[in-house]
Amino acid sequence: MKKTSFTSSAVACAVTCLALVFVLLPFQSLADEKLKPEEVVAKHLESIGTAEARAATHTRIAGGTVVATFSAPSTGKFEGQVVMASESNKNLIAMEFTSSNYSGENISFDGESVSIGYARAGVRSNLGDLVTTYKAIVKNGLIGGALSQSWPLYDLADKKHKLEYKGTKKVGGRTLHELRFTPRGGSDLDISLFFDSETFQHVRSEYLHVVAPQIGMTVDASKSQMPTRYKMIEEFSDFRKEENLTLPHSYKISLELDTRNPFRGSWDMTLNQFGFNKAIPPAMFNVGVKE
């Protein structure tokens, strides 16, 4: 009886362990699975809305409030209004502040040329300068993420950009899928797009360019040289449904410049008004100085 009891217990234990293995294995395989870029994009598009809902949307306008906060080289805080508009590959982000020192930001693309506004008379902001230097961010519809009708992942095959799956990455305690994005024609920027591991919503974009320091005349002079680093981050959160599309209502741009004139700043936008399939005057996509 004792031997039979031991055998029964062993069998019961084995069955329990086997059941646990079958329960846990799928989670482990999903975590370790290397997805194809096309799979991530497909799941991301599903997170926004059905194919019919996405195809039925031709123009978008979103508006709300924005708070610009600067921490280096000097501190400052500015509150204002923001409007985003997009149609096909045309897009606009316009911020307006009630300050003579900082009137706003205007970044637009009319399908042919990028236009950047001045932050004050004849002077661009650091954000405007960065976008002027790296126009691919705007031309390819990256800025604004899925909020923009010109978001390249809506029609990736036609645009012929390159995507590479880089695995998962922990950001702020969250596990995100990372896709490396290379626009058609290339770019000096390293561009990464991040998607929530559960919902596949696009929650973050990173743009990075590092310039190696020049070699000095002596070893000590070379050691004193520092690399130049340009980094911009877009963050998206507070996803809610607007008509038939699930879109972020919180959008933040952060900019870090490690140069001779270092800069730290961010623009926090809260979007509370959305409009779809409304006529947008062409002039809206040409609000600054063409570059």
Give the whole-angstrom CA distance, residue 254 versus residue 237.
14
Average pLDDT rounded to a whole number, residues 265-269:
98
Chain mean pLDDT for the chain: 87
Residue 189 pLDDT > 80: yes
Residue 199 pLDDT > 80: yes
Domain 35-290, CATH 2.50.20.10 — does that match?
yes
The confidence band for 95, taking pLDDT boundaries of 50, 70 and 90, is very high
Alpha-carbon distance values, 27 to 9, 16, 33 (Å): 28, 18, 10
Angle at 143 between CA 140 and CA 148, to 5 degrees: 85
pLDDT at 19: 41
Residue 18 pLDDT > 80: no
Question: Could you give the percent of the chain with pLDDT greater than 90?
Answer: 74
Q: pLDDT tens digits for 112-165?
A: 999 999 998 889 999 999 999 999 999 999 999 999 999 999 988 777 899 999
The confidence band for 201, taking pLDDT boundaries of 50, 70 and 90, is very high
Q: Three-class SS of residue 283?
A: helix
- The burial of 258, by beta-carbon neighbours within 10 Å (0-12 exposed, 13-18 middle, 19 or more buried), is given as middle
Yes or no: say if 183 and 140 are a contact pair by the CB < 8 Å rule. yes
Among the listed ranges 4-18, 123-137, 191-205, which one has the minimum average pLDDT value?
4-18
Greatest mean pLDDT among 79-88, 158-167, 216-225 lies in 79-88
Task: Please write down the HEC assignment for all residues of 9-29.
Answer: HHHHHHHHHHHHHHHHHHHHH
Cα-to-chain-centroid distance, residue 254: 11
pLDDT at 225: 62
The confidence band for 214, taking pLDDT boundaries of 50, 70 and 90, is low
Average pLDDT rounded to a whole number, residues 54-83:
97
Domain boundaries, the chain: 1-33, 35-290
pLDDT at 72: 95
Average pLDDT rounded to a whole number, residues 199-227:
74
